[in-house]
Amino acid sequence: MRFAAIDSSDEEDYISLTTSISSVSSSSRRPTSARPRPHVGPRYSAHNVASEQETDSDDILLSAEDSADEVEKLGGGYEVVQTERVYRRQSKTPSTASRQSNPWRERVYRDYSTAPRAKGSIKSLLEKKPTAYELWTKVTEEEAMRDGHRLAQERRGELRERANNARAEVRHADDLRLQREEEEMRRMLEGMALRQTREAEERRRDFAEREKRLWAEIDATIREVELKEAALATARLTAEREAKEQAQALIAKQEQEAQARRIAEQKVAEEKRAREKQRLEAQEAARKADEEARTKAEQDAKIVDLSNMPHREWAKWVRQQRRMKTQVIEPVKADRATKQAVKIALRLITRGVGQVVNTKHDTVRVTDDIHRLLVDQLPAPPSAANPTSLSSTPPTAYLYLLSHLSKALIKQAESEVSAKPNAAFPLARIIHGLILRGHGAFGDILMARLVKKCPWVIPFYPAKQPDQSRESYEKSTGRALDESTSEYIQRMGGILILYFSIVQTCLTPLIPTIPSTPTPTPRQLLALYPAALRLPAGWTWLAYALRKPILASAPMASMLAIYVEVVAPAAAEVFGGLQVGKVLVAMKRDCVDRKRVKGESEADRQRLGILVDKWEKEGRRYLQGRDWEV
């Protein structure tokens, strides 16, 4: 009821209804954006407008005049104030259009506080029971309010359902769009994968074709090289066979000529003996006397010469090595172009010396390889008839290679021969093979380096000079600064075995291995070999070794034992086993039994005595490995 006294329940119902209606109506007046909106918006707006029209037609609007009429009907005897004050409760957005479109947002109150009241009217009015109209009005308002709430709730449910449907349609459209995009992406990826597969197949096919062509070229090159090598091998074998046949024919011819000469000489000798027999018998006594006197004089002269001969021999080879250092080694090391030119040859020489074994094929192969490397540095290949020599001034690079070869051979002797003596024999055959092929300068260069590294090949042990440093003196004796005596003796023994192997090697098996050259004559052999590398040098070495003061040196017992093992069998074969046996027995008696020879230990001296005793019992025995394996 709209009176001055406001019913609390009516006010709450009114406010709730007004709020629900105003919220619905105000949503239609919100500003819209310029961007496109989904179709759920227009549907929602149309439904809202229709709902508002239905509400306006059903609701009962009470104006200020209706309120006045009600007062007159209820209290006809009351005095009603002609003037009224209107109070309006406005919403949070007090716009005129809003108040006109929604009359439920206004309430009219009339102020009766200043008007005169009828006597006893209020009390009687309050105590008076409501009329049927009032009850009907109240019931009607409550029903209208409930209907409004119900309609508003139904409209909200419809709006939610429409919004959900609209969102479902939007999601469905998005799902369709995503499916289309996914299908397009899948097709694009399949196309890319197919294109990559085709490209990979093309690359694989191209690579297979290139690989096939490459292997075809490699096979063709290998076949060509094999054919060339086979042709060269055939030519080399043919040349070797022809050279061998020529050498055998030449040897047979020489043997026939020698046999004929021997027969003729025998006849001449017989005739000469018959003619001079009487003269010889008459002069025999005088000749014996003269011979004895001459022999004694020669022995005295030899004794005088032997006292200083080892020193002169050692000094000669030391000077030769110094000339090699100043005239060959240092200039080549300073010349970068020459050093680079011989670099490959140096490496091949070192490898060949280190890989040789004691077989005829391998020894001849290594000798020929080194011979070709040396010939490359000469204007023309040498031979026994036209050998190289230091006096003819060969090219510096050639002499440098010979010096390096000598150094490699001595290093091999220090490392391997000292532990395995028979390893020196193939090295000695390589040395003789190169000299027989015309490299005469190699003998002098090798001997000079042997004396430098091991003065016991003379044998000679230099004395320290007053102004000589310890390092220089140890170097002149071939000894390292921090080397023990046993290590020094073992290393010197390896070098001495190599030297003795060179001295005792027989040249007869080596001459047929010289390719396509005439057999050297005795005069040519004398020109090729220095005296220090011939077998008689073994007798000279023994004569020097058995004299004082060298005999008292610590290494001498081991050196004499090496001589007995390596040189003595070859000397017995040439000069006679009886003569060599006498010398060895005398050496044992004077040096071992009387302890004139000094060794590092008693074991060295006893070993020398055991070797001589075995010689007396079994005769000469060559060291194993002296003859090469075929």
What are the tens digits of pLDDT across the range 577-617?
Answer: 888 888 888 888 888 888 888 777 888 888 888 898 888 88
Q: Tokens in use for 543?
A: 């004569």
Provide the β-strand partners of residue 629.
Answer: 359
CA distance 363 to 346: 18
Mean pLDDT of 294-304: 48
Indicate the angle between helix axes 485-504 and 556-575, nearest 10 degrees: 10
Q: What is the DSSP string of 282-345?
A: HTHHHHHHHHHHHHHHHHHHHHHHHTTHHHHHHHHHHHHHHHHIIIIIHHHHH-HHHHHHTHHH
88-92, 448-452, 500-504, 613-617, range with the lowest pLDDT: 88-92
**Which of 94, 32, 17, 24 is CA-nearest to residue 53?**
24
Answer whether 421's CB lies under 8 Å from 356's CB: no
The Cβ of residue 173 has, within 10 Å, a number of other Cβ atoms equal to 11
Does the predicted TM-score (pTM) go above 0.75?
no
CA distance 156 to 74: 40
**Max Cα separation, the chain?**
217
Report the percentage of the chain scoring pLDDT > 90.
Answer: 34
Q: Tokens in use for 486?
A: 């046993």
The Cβ of residue 565 has, within 10 Å, a number of other Cβ atoms equal to 17
CA distance 197 to 205: 12
Mean pLDDT of 487-516: 90
Provide the β-strand partners of residue 359.
Answer: 629
Give yes or no for residue 198 having a pLDDT over 70.
yes
For residue 549, whether the previous peptide bond is cis, meaning omega lies within 30 degrees of 0, is yes
Q: What is the pLDDT of residue 197?
A: 92
CA distance 414 to 394: 29
The four Cα atoms 499, 531, 525, 392 give a dihedral, to 10 degrees, of 100
**Which of 104, 112, 201 is CA-nearest to residue 144?**
104
Q: Locate the domains of the chain by residue range.
A: 8-27+40-161, 284-534
- 59 burial type by CB count under 10 A (0-12 exposed, 13-18 middle, 19+ buried): middle
For residue 459, whether the previous peptide bond is cis, meaning omega lies within 30 degrees of 0, is yes
CA distance 518 to 243: 9
CA distance 379 to 385: 16
Q: What is the pLDDT of residue 47?
A: 44
Half-sphere exposure of 357 (CA within 13 A, CB side): 5
Q: What is the pLDDT of residue 72?
A: 41
Greater confidence, 265 or 27?
A: 265
Answer whether 562's CB lies under 8 Å from 500's CB: yes
Provide the β-strand partners of residue 485.
Answer: none
Give yes or no for residue 85 having a pLDDT over 60.
no
The percent of the chain in helix, strand and coil, each rounded to the nearest 5, is 75, 0, 25
Report the percentage of the chain scoring pLDDT > 70.
Answer: 74
Q: Measured on CA atoms in the order 416, 417, 418, 422, is the torsion positive or negative? A: positive
What are the tens digits of pLDDT across the range 173-193?
Answer: 999 999 999 999 999 999 999
Under CATH, which number does the domain 284-534 receive? Answer: 1.25.40.510
CA distance 148 to 140: 12
Give yes or no for residue 344 having a pLDDT over 60.
yes
